[in-house]
Structure 1
Amino acid sequence: MTVRFFHTSDWHLGQFFYNHSRQYEHEQFLAWLLTQIQEKQPHALLIAGDIFDVINPASAAQKQLYQFLADAHSLAPHMQTLMIAGNHDSGYRIEQVEPLLAKYNAKTVGVIHKNADGQLDLDRLLTPIYDAQQQIIAWCLTLPFLRPAEITGINEHTDSSQNAIAYLHQQLILEAKKRKTANQALILMSHAHMQGGETSDSERPIIIGNEEALSTALFDEVIDYVALGHLHKPQKVQHAHIRYSGSPIPLSFSEIHYKHQVLDIQLDPSLQHENRLLIEALPIPRTVQLHKIKGELADVLSQLKALPNGKIDSIDRREYVDIEYHTLTPPPPNLRQQFEEALPQERYRLVRISRQYLASEKNGGADDAVHLEPPTPEKLFQQIWRKQGYTADDDVLQDFMSLVQDAQKSLESESNT
């Protein structure tokens, strides 16, 4: 029996891009996705984490998600929506609305739970996928972002984060093997950084301490498809059936050239392994363009003037511009005004200006950027650390990020007590 499902991830609903809301762009993506659901009627929609951009999303972002789920259910009543928490999400928060989700044939797995005897609750991590006749055609193994505090110390096999991750995968796949029949597919959905994955600068690091990215060896050959979240670039990882779907919109200027997509998967476990998967990338239309302008000052001004004209009334629909200009001298005091005047009027949002000194300058080409958005904890730490005269090497930075993860975990726990 063929199971058809959509694989998507990293929506980051509620994101502010250099203090500009992405709500309009997300609205357009979700409207497009609803059209695909109505047309293709998949058995399931898999959302592989980072549903929201922050652990405490604004009400507008939450409303966007729940309205989408209601609309999707009305268009495809038999479709199941399965979601996992990513490192940007509060696992406890997205699980709190389970009664609401059930009304829309949706389920979320936010955290790893334990049974009364202290062992892993594997039953909660295994979700059957049904066809229109309510026959089980696949099992989805759902693994949210794995925080060490949730998975270590359960037994002698979970004394470290890496051991616990390996043990959890092993036990979950073993339980799935017991449940599946020959004509049922096994799909694993996970939010993780896999070895060999290509990253962008908008992805919050989730490798902490001295832990490494995860190996695809965790996935038994019995798994027919691995639906990954976290990396924003659509890509396969070592094997054709292990994939990141990527984010639906560019979340930084480094993602301008990404081919944003939703993966439409058709899987027939009765066929030979090399023939059982049919994967189609559904390209997502980009509704707001991003422009990265580089060069010496005169060249930058020329490029800005050459951008397309045409007024865009709504500020939320105007195109983003990032300028990196190269110079040997300090900037003139009216530089931003020069850039703004060179841009065609009422069409663009100039969100970032950075200065790149040419290599002949004393500092050897150091980057002097003016960021128009709040700094991340990582960047703030690096700035303060350098001001104290220290070098923020990898070990120091990893230790700091480990503390940040612990603080986030503590905040999540407090918000749910």
Structure 2
Amino acid sequence: MTVRFFHTSDWHLGQFFYQHSRQYEHEQFLAWLLQQIQQKQPNALLIAGDIFDVINPASSAQKQLYQFLADAHAIAPQMQTLMIAGNHDSGYRIEQIEPLLEKYNAKTVGIIHKNNEGSIDLERLLVPIYDENKIIVAWCLTLPFLRPAEITGFNEQTATSQNAIAYLHQQLIAEAKKRKTPEQALILMSHAHMQGGETSDSERPIIIGNEEALSTTLFDEVIDYVALGHLHKPQKVQNAHIRYSGSPIPLSFSEINYKHQIVEVTLDPTQSNESRFQFEAIAIPRSVQLHKIKGELTEVFKQLSALPSGEIDNIEHREYVDIEYHTHIPPQPNLRQQFEEALPKNRYRLVRISRQYLSTEKNADISTAISLEPPTPEKLFQQIWEKNGYSEDDAVLKDFLSLVQEAEKSLEEEQRI
């Protein structure tokens, strides 16, 4: 028996890009995805975490998701939508809507639950995938973003985060092996940073306590496909069947050249290892373009003037521009206005200007940036750390990020009370 599904991740619904809403871009992506679902009629749609951009998403972002689920169910009622929470999501929040999700043949796994006797509730993490005849064709092993507080302390084998992660994978895969038949595939969906994965500057580092990225040795050979979320660049990790689908839209200027896509996967576990797995990357059209302009001032003005013209009435549809200019002297006070005037009228949004001083001496170049985006806790900490004269220390930064994660976890728990 074969199973066919779409692998997606990192939608980040509700994101603001330098204070500009991405709602239009997400609307275009979701409309395109509905077309793919209607055309291909897959057995399942996987969303591997970071459904929303923040743990308390705006009502407009939540409405986008629920409207999409309703529309997808209307055009492909047999399709299951399976979602896991990412590090940007509130696992508790997305699990609260289970009664609603059931109406649309959808399920979400936000956190790791315990049984009454205190062991890991593996039942919730193993989700059957059915074909149009209601026959189980695959099992999806769902692992949301693993926070230390949720996975440690079950027993002596889960005393540390690293041991707990290994134990959880072992137990879940062992249970899946018991349930599967030779005709059924095993799909593992996880939101994690894997060793060897290529990151962009829009991704927060994932630090589990003081542990580094996870190893693919966690995945048993019996797993037919690993659907990963968190890293925004589409890529395989060591093996072709272990993949990040990537984000549907560029979430930073460093992602301009990413080939944003969803992955259509077909599995037939009765075939040999070489032929049981097939995939096709389906390119996602980009609804709003991003432009990175770099060079000395004369070159920057030349590039700005050469950009395509033609007015775009709706500001949410206008293209983004990031300027990095190189200079020997301090900037003129009206430089931003000059940049704006050099751009073709009513087509672009100038969202970021950065300056790099070109040193005339042997000392290193000095770079500064003017960003309209609010700083993250990590950036604020680094600024204060450097301001007080301390040198860069990865261990200290990891400890700080662990505290941030604990604070976010405490905030979620307070909201549940």
Query: By the TM > 0.5 criterion, same fold?
Result: yes
Q: Is the 8 A contact 1:357 1:364 kept in 2?
A: no
What pairs with 1:148-163 in structure 2 (closer than 5 Å)? 148-163=148-163
What pairs with 1:366-405 in structure 2 (closer than 5 Å)? 366-405=366-405
Gaps of 5+ in 1: none
Gaps of 5+ in 2: none
Q: For 2:162 and 2:209, how far apart are their aligned partners in 1?
A: 11
What pairs with 1:173-212 in structure 2 (closer than 5 Å)? 173-212=173-212
Aligned amino acid, residue 381 of structure 2: F
Matched with 1:327 is 327
Matched with 2:8 is 8
Q: For 2:245 and 2:303, how far apart are their aligned partners in 1?
A: 33
Q: For 1:188 and 1:213, how far apart are their aligned partners in 2?
A: 17
Q: Secondary structure at the match of 2:403?
A: helix
Q: For 2:339 and 2:363, how far apart are their aligned partners in 1?
A: 25
Q: Is the 8 A contact 1:297 1:327 kept in 2?
A: yes
What pairs with 1:337-416 in structure 2 (closer than 5 Å)? 337-360=337-360, 364-416=364-416
Aligned amino acid, residue 184 of structure 1: Q
Q: Is the 8 A contact 1:324 1:356 kept in 2?
A: yes
Q: Structure 1, residues 125-162: CA drift from partner, whole Å, max 9, x if none?
A: 00000001100000000000000000001101001000
Matched, 1:27 2:20: no
Q: Secondary structure at the match of 2:408?
A: helix
Matched with 1:309 is 309
Q: Is the 8 A contact 1:152 1:159 kept in 2?
A: yes
Do the aligned partners of residues 124 and 208 (structure 1) sit closer, same or farther apart at CA in structure 2, a change above 3 Å counting?
closer
Do the aligned partners of residues 361 and 79 (structure 1) sit closer, same or farther apart at CA in structure 2, a change above 3 Å counting?
farther
Q: For 1:194 and 1:360, how far apart are their aligned partners in 2?
A: 42
Q: Which moved more, 1:346-355 or 1:361-370?
A: 361-370
Q: For 1:288 and 1:195, how far apart are their aligned partners in 2?
A: 32
Aligned amino acid, residue 150 of structure 1: E
Q: For 2:278 and 2:380, how far apart are their aligned partners in 1?
A: 45
Q: Secondary structure at the match of 1:275?
A: coil
Q: Structure 1, residues 357-414: CA drift from partner, whole Å, max 9, x if none?
A: 1243576212100011111111111111222222231111111111100000000111
Q: Is the 8 A contact 1:192 1:228 kept in 2?
A: yes
Q: Is the 8 A contact 1:208 1:399 kept in 2?
A: no
Aligned amino acid, residue 338 of structure 1: Q
What pairs with 1:15-414 in structure 2 (closer than 5 Å)? 15-360=15-360, 364-414=364-414
Aligned amino acid, residue 339 of structure 2: F
Q: Is the 8 A contact 1:234 1:259 kept in 2?
A: yes
Q: Is the 8 A contact 1:354 1:369 kept in 2?
A: yes
Q: For 1:58 and 1:19, how far apart are their aligned partners in 2?
A: 14
**Identity, % of aligned pairs?**
80
Q: Secondary structure at the match of 2:38?
A: helix
Q: Is the 8 A contact 1:328 1:361 kept in 2?
A: no
TM-score when scaled to structure 1?
Answer: 0.99
Q: For 1:293 and 1:278, how far apart are their aligned partners in 2?
A: 39
**Displacement, 1:41?**
0.2
Q: Which moved more, 1:208-217 or 1:135-144?
A: 208-217
Q: Is the 8 A contact 2:127 2:140 kept in 1?
A: yes
Q: Structure 1, residues 221-274: CA drift from partner, whole Å, max 9, x if none?
A: 000000000000000000010000000000000000000000001111110011
Q: CA RMSD in A?
A: 0.8
Q: Secondary structure at the match of 1:188?
A: strand
Q: Is the 8 A contact 1:194 1:237 kept in 2?
A: yes
